[in-house]
Amino acid sequence: MQTNIEWNKNKSFMYGILFTFFIAIIGYILAQLPGFNRIGPLATAIILAILYRQLFSYPKKIERGIAFSSKYILRLAIILYGLKLNVQVILDDGLGLLVKSLFAIALSIVLMYIFQKWWKMDKSVSFLLGVGTGICGAAAIAAVAPIIKAKSSDTAISIAIIALTGTIFSIIYTVLLPILPIDNMPYGIWSGLSLHELAHVALAAEPAGENALAFALLAKLSRVFLLVPFCFGLIIWLNMKNAQKNESSSLPLPYFLLGFVVMSIVGTYVLGSIIPFPTVAATITEEITTFLLASAMVGLGLNVDLETIRTKALLPFIAMINVSIILAISIYFIVV
């Protein structure tokens, strides 16, 4: 009898993981179609998961596997995401951009904090949106969420909002490209310092040519570079805050961020130089990382219901639009 119970638990656990994979695959396929290709597989997957929750309710029988995807597969994906960051390029060419990136991060968080106080929005969602806007979208939100102990539903809502807003603004940027009095290279830097996701930056900068795209990605990577020090700084600050309140609980070291650092170092100094790493292998690794992130998005999206969206998403979305506009204008004048 005990063996059967354990088998059923393990089976439901695996079914939960496979379920998130299945929805992610559908999201991946849809993301290749016109329209959906503008928002990418991550946003598509999380939208599908939210829709599934509203139509069929939360699948409680397989919730252990779903929770595993939203927590541990997400962290594995963030570790692999470190391969996208070439540390040497930032150290060689991006040091000047780091100062501008710090400004973008500070401005985004401060503005979102002001809107949160002004409109009395949810603190967790507002902070996650500020971090996602300033640093690197969904990856930053996913990294910071466990540090501030955000609910899965808050994390999912924040990622969905940032994906939608970033898509809207990247399209607006491409429309403005021939209109604004800005050269291609500054345009690329502007895109990289002000847009939310790496995919959004690539979408906006690609029409300006290869050089503009290269500078855009460099500017974006300078923001990704600051993710880990920001997270560790946040942990130190929160621990100091708890100490002042005489609270004994201290935040644990987020091991997956250490993994992110290690993978960044490996990708920069080991793969391709010491150990051969063909372009095909790099592409496959990148696709696997994106797929794992999409699967984790499914797990997060299944925790969102319509009432949560109604009460928590509308004002943050409006605030996000305002913050993104102010950030875009500020960075534009800095770059130009």
pLDDT digits (tens, 9 = 90+) for 104-122: 999 999 999 999 999 999 9
Find the mean pLDDT for residues 204-213: 86
Q: Given pLDDT bands bounded at 50, 70 and 90, which one contains residue 5?
A: low
Cβ atoms within 10 A of the Cβ of 325, count? 12
Residue 190 has pLDDT above 60, yes or no: yes
CA-based nearest residue to 156, from 306, 6, 3: 306
pLDDT at residue 240, as a whole number: 85
DSSP label at 252? P
Give 4's pLDDT tier (boundaries 50, 70, 90): low
**What pLDDT sits at residue 199?**
77
Q: How confident is the model at residue 171 (pLDDT cuts 50, 70, 90)?
A: confident
Taking phi first (over 0 means left), then psi (-120 to 50 degrees means alpha), and beta for anything else, what does residue 304 get?
beta
Confidence of residue 82 (pLDDT cuts 50, 70, 90): confident
Residue 264 has pLDDT above 80, yes or no: yes
Query: Cα dihedral angle (151, 124, 41, 308), rounded to 10 degrees?
Result: 70
pLDDT value of residue 253: 63
Shortest CA distance to 44 belongs to which of 31, 57, 61?
A: 31
Question: What is the distance between the alpha carbons of residues 261 and 255, in angstroms, rounded to a whole number?
Answer: 10
Q: Give the least confident one: 69-83, 144-158, 235-249, 316-330.
A: 235-249
Q: Answer yes or no: are the C-beta atoms of 301 and 49 closer than 8 Å.
A: yes
Residue 40, pLDDT score: 75
The percent of residues in the chain predicted with pLDDT above 70, rounded, is: 93
Of 62-76, 120-134, 247-261, 286-300, give the range with the top mean pLDDT: 120-134
The Cα–Cα gap between 52 and 326 comes to: 35
Alpha helix locations (H) across the chain? 2-30, 40-56, 63-68, 74-81, 87-93, 95-119, 123-134, 137-144, 152-176, 184-194, 198-205, 210-225, 227-244, 255-269, 279-301, 306-312, 314-335
Q: Residue 310 class from Cβ within 10 Å (0-12 exposed, 13-18 middle, 19+ buried)? A: exposed
Mean pLDDT for the chain overall:
86
SS3 314: helix
The CA angle 311-314-318, to the nearest 5 degrees, is: 150
Q: Which of 29-43, 59-73, 321-335 has the highest mean pLDDT?
A: 321-335
